[in-house]
Amino acid sequence: MPGENKSVSPMKYLRDAIDTQVYVRLKDGSEFVGTLKMTDSTMNLILDDSIEVKDGKQVVAKIGKILIRGSMVQYISFTPDVAAGEALSK
């Protein structure tokens, strides 16, 4: 029907982002950038080649592969170069 709003599940965006780089901020303030390798229905994430960043600007640690529990995720950005641009350019 014209004018009908179709809602799209956030999980579709998350699944479509597999094998791309994402920025993840956790509820405790931790920030990570890495390649999304896997997710599930509870939004648990596996990132590869990940780094921990601070304030989206400074690299804190190179982590590698990390599992992030979905209940700890505050938000995910599919444009990590915007969210953590300075850290990624180093």
Question: Residue 28 contacts by C-beta under 8 Å, 6 or more apart in sequence?
Answer: 72
Tokens 């009908």 label which residue? 4
- Its pTM stands at 0.82
What mean pLDDT do residues 10-21 have? Answer: 91
Within-domain flag for 90? no
Within-domain flag for 33? yes
Within-domain flag for 35? yes
Within-domain flag for 44? yes
Question: Can you read off the two tokens belonging to residue 87?
Answer: 């850290």
Check which CATH number belongs to the domain holding 26 and give it.
Answer: 2.30.30.100
- Look at residue 23 and tell me whether its pLDDT is greater than 90: yes
Within-domain flag for 1? no
Q: How many domains does the structure of the chain reveal?
A: 1
pLDDT confidence bin for 67, thresholds 50/70/90: very high
